[in-house]
Every structure is written in C-alpha cells, then in structure tokens.
Chain A
Amino acid sequence: MKTRIYLDNAATTRTSQEVVDAMLPYFTECYGNPSSIYELGQRSKEAITKAREEIAQVIGAKTEEIYFTAGGSESDNWAIKAAYEAYKNKGSHIITTKIEHHAVLHTCQYLEKQGARVTYLDVDENGLIDLDQLQKAITPETILITIMFANNEIGTIEPVKEIGMIAKEHGILFHTDAVQAFGQVPIDVDEMNIDMLSSSAHKINGPKGIGCLYIRKGVKIRSFIHGGAQERKRRAGTENVPGIVGYGAAARMAAATMEERTKKEQELRDYFIRRVLEEVPYTRLNGDPKKRLPNNANFSFRFIEGESLLIMLDMKGIAGSSGSACTSGSLDPSHVLLAIGLPHETAHGSLRLTLGADTTKEDLDYTVDQIKEIVSKLRNLSPLYEDFMRKQKKAESL
C-alpha cells in the first residue's frame, strides 16, 4: 500500500518545497564554480556564504567555523579520526557512549585498532549517561569526548551543557553528534562548550548528501580531503552548491519555526505515547519520558517481533522503523535498546515512530488503532505470548 502516514522522520524527511525552490536555480542558472572569478562563479560563492551564515546562526557559531561535508556520517568520521590524529601525541584515550550512532561507534572501533583506547560509557534505563562516570573515566591521556546530543533511536537528550563543562574543565575536546538535535532543540556551541558538532540537512527537510561539521576556531584537526582550497583547505573539492543552498534554506526555516513546530510535535507525541501505553498491554516506552526529542516515540511491544510489525504497518500505509535484528540484516537487535537494559526478545519488538511538521492527530489516531490490531494479531501468533498466558493462567488458578 502507498505510504499515507510517514512516521520515520528520524530516518529522513521530505525535502520541503521551499528548499527545492531555493536549490533549483543552482543547477541550471547559477551553475558557476564558486572558485571561479567571473560573475557566475561569484554568485555561487555568495550563495554558499549565505547558507553558511544561516547554519552558523542555528547553533550560535561563527560563519567560518562551519565546514560543509557530505552528511552526518562524514562529519562524525572526520571529527573523531582527525582529532585523534592531531592529539595522539598528547594521549590516546577517547570517551564515548554505548548508544552512539554507528558512524561514531564504528569510527571509535577503527581507532582502537590504530592504538586508541576507548571508554564506552553506560547509560541508565532511559538512555542518559552518568556525569560521575564520565568524570571518573577521564585520565591525563583523554583527548576527546564524543557524546551524541540526542539519540536517534530512543530520542533521549543527553546533558550536553554539563558534559561541555566537564570537558572544558579538563581541557579536553568535546564533539557531539547533533544530527537528530539540530533544528529540533536549542543549541548554543559557546554556552555548551562544544568544540565540534555534526549535523545533516536531510533530517530537517533539507536535501540528502549534505551536512556540516562545526569546528571551533583554534581546534587543530587535519584536513579531511586534500586538494583545492575549498572549506578553508580542510575539505577540498568543488562544493555541492545546490545542496548547500538547500541546507541553508532548511536550517533557516527550522530555526524560524522551531518553537512553534516542536511545541505542537511534543503535544502530539505525548498524546500518542499516552494512548499507546494505555491501550496496548505489555508495552513500554523506550527513552526518557521528558528529556526526549519533541518528535520521537519508541515502544517495545512484548512477545512480538519488530519486522513483522513494520510490514503489517506498511500494508496499512504507515511508515516506521524498528530496532529488530531482522530489519538490520544482523542477528543482534539494536545496541541502544540492549544498552538501556532491554532483554533481547523485548528489543526485537521495538517500534520507533518519529513525527514530522505535518503529522496530524488524525494520523496518530489511525496509527494507534492499527498498532492495537496488529500487535494483537502478532501476539496470537507468538509462542512467547502463549507461554506467558499459560503461566498467567496457572498463577491465577493457584
């Protein structure tokens, strides 16, 4: 069935029409190379400068601290690998968490093979790190703390300001993967003592394949791509001008609408969460109930498996995602759900639904009704549910 209700905005978003309109002239009219001296090139250059300003404003950065990349994963790779290379003479210890995006986790694992020592901080049952554990993990060898701003699966927002303070006190670089938080929650890199920050356009109704790394002035990290002088010589290659323009437009709109949009999303989210928890038995909400992204809802339905649930929702025109192994191609369910302490079978039965600016109450009411029906259908199929009910019956008759 054709998708009618798109609730996977944490995976990607629809590029907004305004963004597309802003981008289009830069394909066929203003197609000049920004490095060229003639007017056509200079117009492209100006467009990039404008977009850089628009993005810098969202996080309180200086324009020259924004470096365009091909997206969040590239930004994470660059920040972590380049910081390690630049500071490894000082020490080789990196602190991160168990619930990072794979772009951070796998990069850290790669650096471990290169000789880095990495501490993966635990999180509590809501996905929050323990600041004391962070303090204790710091050694004179620690050169980088990389902790995500908000988790992509369960939506938990980490205490970034406190982390920044701790990093600053110890003179340690602080990088945060803010791919999910950018444009969704207020960010101020100075107030939060963030040295590097990753962001991506397609999570905020911008185009895919463009993102940025914020690098605080004075942080010395090596160039990601060597070549021409683009991006202050730190990331060579002719700029993705239409992408950058679209990213700038998306960032500007996300910032302008943030307060109103996220307030509406949060109300709908809480209404949706309440209905699901009240109306579907043996269900739990994953992630912190309060410190969470305004558009994120993540549930575990016991006794059922996530992929089955996703396919059945899809047949009803609803798009979502799951932390089940079967959706990832591996045998293990989501590392995030295991890190918050869920048993494997409960982690397999997770469902993430992420709202967008145009999600309506009617969409969510329909979704709750479908979830109720599908979960009940799948439970009737489930041997785990059969065992559970049998045990319940036995306990009652005793």
Chain B
Amino acid sequence: MYSEKVMDHFQNPRNVGELENPSGVGTVGNAKCGDIMRIYLDIDENQVIRDCKFKTFGCGAAVATSSMATELVKGKTIQEALQVTNKAVMEALDGLPPVKVHCSLLAEEAIHAALWDYAEKNGIQIQGLSKPKSDIHEGEEEEEEEY
C-alpha cells in the first residue's frame, strides 16, 4: 500500500518532538477526521528555519508526510519553505495512495500555520502567505471522557 520511503519515514520519523521557545507553532487538522499535525519552527534573524519539530496524530501517511515536510523546510528560508507544497512532499515520498493525498495537504497547511504564527508574533507580513484554513482550538479536548 505504501512506498518504501513512506514506510521508512513512518517507522523512523525525523524531527519528532517539541521546541522550547519556538518562533512559530502551527496546529492543523481535526480529531474528527483523525489527523492532527503540529509543527514547531525555530527561525533565525535572517529568516532561515534553523530547526523544525513535529508531532502528529494520524495514519501512516500523515506521520510520513509530517516527517518529510520537516526535512524539506529545515535550513530553508521562509520564502523557500513556502515553496514546499503538498505535491513536493508527496514526490519526495515517491507518492501516496489516492485516499491519502489529503494527508499531504495537512503537512503544507501545518507549515503555513506555523509561519503565520511567527509572522503574527513578530508583527510582520510574509509575502504569499495567507491565514491558515484550519486550526485546532486549545482546550477542545476537555470534552473528552475519562476512563
């Protein structure tokens, strides 16, 4: 079902974790669909992404695309990172099954959301970046029941 590259990034995901004082954080997706992606960015004064971490709740494709997306934006400038589209992530993974294409969209959106957060924090505008489509509201999981 999955390519070798997808399986590799799923089994050994790169850049898993959190950043202490991130320049920007983006969380997209929703639990209803079963995919949530969070990306942390550390951006230096030259607007280069120094470090990047992620956490993902989702299927094999969701984890693999998160992992690959973080690899692709690491060391890039913000403008370069904006060019990392879902298509680029998919190609880097040697493709995804058709039903999993939406997972790669999530990775692109998560990066955009993190960049948006960075821009807002610093009061700057990033050319070509629009407000992310979906975001997870803090505290939503309070509705969860205890077992």
Complex contact B31–A348 (CB within 8 A): yes
Interface string of B113-132 (1 = CB under 8 A from A): 00000000000000000000
B-side interface size class? 20 to 34
Q: How far is the CA of A284 from the CA of B36 in the complex (A)?
A: 22
Complex contact A325–B147 (CB within 8 A): no
Complex contact B31–A383 (CB within 8 A): no
Answer yes or no: A3 CB below 8 A from chain B CBs. Answer: no
Complex contact B55–A343 (CB within 8 A): no
Q: Chain A nearest CB: distance from B58 CB in Å?
A: 5
Q: Chain A nearest CB: distance from B69 CB in Å?
A: 14
Q: Chain B nearest CB: distance from A272 CB in Å?
A: 18
Complex contact A303–B16 (CB within 8 A): no
For B31, the chain A residues whose CB sits under 8 A away are: 343-345, 348, 384
Answer yes or no: B60 CB below 8 A from chain A CBs. Answer: yes
Q: How far is the CA of A228 from the CA of B30 in the complex (A)?
A: 54
Binds B, one of A5-13, A212-220, A305-313: A305-313
Binds A, one of B41-49, B70-78, B79-87, B138-146: B138-146
For A333, the chain B residues whose CB sits under 8 A away are: 34
Say whether chain B's binding surface is mostly helix, strand, loop, or mixed.
Answer: mixed
A383 and B34 contact, Cβ closer than 8 Å, known pairs A308-B60, A345-B57: no
Answer yes or no: A167 CB below 8 A from chain B CBs. Answer: no
Q: Chain A nearest CB: distance from B56 CB in Å?
A: 6
Complex contact A388–B141 (CB within 8 A): yes
Specify which of B13, B57, B143 is in contact with A304 (CB 8 Å cutoff).
B57
Q: How far is the CA of A385 from the CA of B17 in the complex (A)?
A: 12
For B135, the chain A residues whose CB sits under 8 A away are: none
Answer yes or no: A139 CB below 8 A from chain B CBs. Answer: no
Interface residues on chain A, number (Cβ under 8 Å):
33
Interface string of B25-42 (1 = CB under 8 A from A): 001000111111110000
Complex contact A311–B10 (CB within 8 A): yes
Answer yes or no: B11 CB below 8 A from chain A CBs. Answer: yes
Answer yes or no: A52 CB below 8 A from chain B CBs. Answer: no
Q: How far is the CA of A313 from the CA of B7 in the complex (A)?
A: 13
For A386, the chain B residues whose CB sits under 8 A away are: 18, 38, 55
Specify which of B11, B34, B99, B138 is in contact with A315 (CB 8 Å cutoff).
B11
Answer yes or no: B92 CB below 8 A from chain A CBs. Answer: no
Q: Chain B nearest CB: distance from A287 CB in Å?
A: 14
Q: How far is the CA of A303 from the CA of B56 in the complex (A)?
A: 10
Complex contact A302–B144 (CB within 8 A): yes
Complex contact A307–B59 (CB within 8 A): yes
Answer yes or no: A387 CB below 8 A from chain B CBs. Answer: yes
Specify which of B16, B32, B138, B145 is in contact with A381 (CB 8 Å cutoff).
B16
For A380, the chain B residues whose CB sits under 8 A away are: 16
Complex contact A381–B56 (CB within 8 A): yes
Complex contact A382–B34 (CB within 8 A): no
Specify which of B34, B55, B63, B144 is in contact with A324 (CB 8 Å cutoff).
B34
Specify which of B13, B60, B144, B147 is in contact with A311 (CB 8 Å cutoff).
B60
Complex contact B34–A283 (CB within 8 A): no
Answer yes or no: A282 CB below 8 A from chain B CBs. Answer: yes
For A307, the chain B residues whose CB sits under 8 A away are: 59-60
Complex contact A343–B143 (CB within 8 A): yes
Q: Chain B nearest CB: distance from A356 CB in Å?
A: 24
For B147, the chain A residues whose CB sits under 8 A away are: 282-284, 302
Specify which of A302, A305, A332 is in contact with B59 (CB 8 Å cutoff).
A305
Answer yes or no: A176 CB below 8 A from chain B CBs. Answer: no
Complex contact A305–B34 (CB within 8 A): yes
Q: How far is the CA of A40 from the CA of B129 in the complex (A)?
A: 77
- Chain A residues near B (Cβ < 8 Å): 282-284, 302-305, 307-308, 311-312, 315, 324-326, 329, 331-333, 343-346, 348, 380-388
- Chain B residues near A (Cβ < 8 Å): 2, 10-11, 13, 16, 18, 27, 31-38, 55-63, 99-100, 138, 141, 143-145, 147
Q: Give me 8 other A-B pairs in contact (C-beta within 8 A), A345-B31, A348-B34, A388-B141 excluded.
A: A305-B35, A305-B57, A305-B62, A308-B60, A308-B63, A381-B55, A383-B56, A387-B138
In the assembled complex, 7 residue pairs joining A and B whose CB atoms fall closer than 8 Å, in A order, are A303-B57, A304-B57, A305-B62, A326-B100, A345-B32, A386-B55, A387-B141
